[in-house]
Amino acid sequence: ARRLAEFRAGLEGLAEKLNASFGEYMEGMGYGGEIRLVCPGSIADYAMQPRVKFREELQDLSPHRNSGGERAVSTQMYLLALQSCVKAPIRIVDEINQGMDERNERLVFERIVQCTCSRRDNPQYFYISPKLLQALTSLEHDNVTVLLVYNGPVPQSLGIDSLRSILRKRRGEEARAVEEDEARDREATYTYTEAEDHKSKRRRRSGETEREEEEDEEDEDVRV
C-alpha cells in the first residue's frame, strides 16, 4: 500500500506539471486544455486524459468529437508538455501537421522551435513533413536546419552547390516579383495623382473662365 501511494503521488505530481504546460500551450494557440490523471482501479488502467476546448467547454479529447486537425494540435501540444518531464536524446515527429489548417500549422511550428531551440542543451528534434508553409520566420533561427529530400532520380551533376544556386535563384525571383509589385503600386499611385492634378487644373481653368464671363457681363451692363 505504501509503494502504491508513493507511485500515485509521483503520477499526480507529473500530472500537475503536464497540466500547467499543456494548458499554457493550448492557450497560446487560442484554445483551452488540461491534463487529468485517471485512476479507475488497476494500475494498468491509469491514464493521462487530455481535455480540450476548441469551441464551447472542456471535453475529453476524442476521435468521435474532435476533427483530425484538432487532435493533431492537441497531440503536439501534449508532446511538447511531456518534453519537460521526460529525458530523451532525440525526439522525432512524423507528419504531425497533416490535417491542420494554415493558422494552426504555423503556430504549432513556431511553438516547436520556441520549445526546442531555446537552450543549447536541449535534445535534437526531428520534424518530418512532406510540406512546409511559406514565410515561416522560425526557419531563420540559428539552431534550425532544413534538409530537403528529393523523391525521384536526381542527376549526379546536381550537387549541393547546384541546389544552393537553385535556391538563390528562386529567392531572387521572389524578390524581383515583390519589387515589380511595389513598382506597379507606385505607378498606379502616380497615375492616379497625375489624373487628379489634371482634374484640378481643369476645374481651375473652368472657374477662371466662368469668372471672366461674369466680369464681361458686368462690363456690358455698365456700358448699357
- The DSSP 8-state label assigned to residue 44 in this structure reads G
Mean pLDDT of all residues in 132-153: 80
Question: Do residues 80 and 112 make contact, with C-beta atoms less than 8 angstroms apart?
Answer: yes
At 137 the pLDDT is 82
| Whole-number pLDDT of residue 152 | 65
The predicted model scores a pTM of 0.63
Is residue 32 within 8 Å of residue 23, measured between CB atoms?
yes
Task: Identify the residue whose cell numbers are 484554445.
Answer: 31
User: 107 near 39, Cβ under 8 Å?
Assistant: no
β-strand partners of 124: 90
One-letter amino acid for residue 65 of the chain = R
Which of the pair, 172 or 63, is modelled with greater confidence? 63
Q: Which of 79, 67, 137 is nearest to 109 (CA)?
A: 137
pLDDT, mean of residues 65-89 = 89
Q: What is the pLDDT of residue 177?
A: 78
Task: Give the three-state DSSP class for 158.
Answer: coil
Is the pLDDT higher at 219 or at 30? Answer: 30
DSSP 8-class letter at 146: -
pLDDT at 161 over 60: no
- How far apart, in whole angstroms, are the C-alpha atoms of residue 200 and residue 9? 82
**Contact criterion met (CB below 8 Å) for 35 and 77:** no
pLDDT band at 201 (very low <50, low <70, confident <90, very high): low
Quick one: pLDDT at residue 116? Answer: 86
Task: Locate 66 and state its grid cell.
Answer: 474532435
Q: What is the pLDDT of residue 193?
A: 64
Radius of gyration of the chain (CA): 32
